Amino acid sequence: MQIFSKELKDTDVRVRFSFPTHCLEHLDFAGNNSVDLRVKDSCGELRVIRCLKRNGDYEKPVLSKGWLKFVADYGLGVGDKVVLLREDDHSLGSQFRIEALRKIVLLGQKAWGEVPRAT
């Protein structure tokens, strides 16, 4: 099940990644303002990426710790896309899968293709 997909902006690749507030319903903060997401990447590796939410009426969520390493490992830039999916992998211990996509042109048609790990 897809939780979100977003084309990356400058702040997303340099500082932190923000995503829609309605996606919070898929995350268990257990009364805290942060949660460490156990995420499987496209190479099948486990990553831990911290998700923070603001206090108050507007709980805008952001991915922080671990996010910029993911960006660097996949060589992501502005205009690339990230997709977060709910996917339990009990053997790996992950609850989510994260995909990095890049626009490609095939036979004159634009499409999204998976980004291979850069490092």
Q: Is the pLDDT of residue 119 over 70?
A: no
What is the rounded average pLDDT for all residues in the chain?
91
Residue 38 confidence (pLDDT):
94
Q: What is the pLDDT of residues 50-85, one digit of tens each?
A: 999 987 777 889 999 999 999 999 999 999 999 999
Q: What is the pLDDT of residues 87-112, one digit of tens each?
A: 988 888 889 999 999 999 888 888 89
Residue 88 confidence (pLDDT):
87
Cα–chain center distance at 61: 12
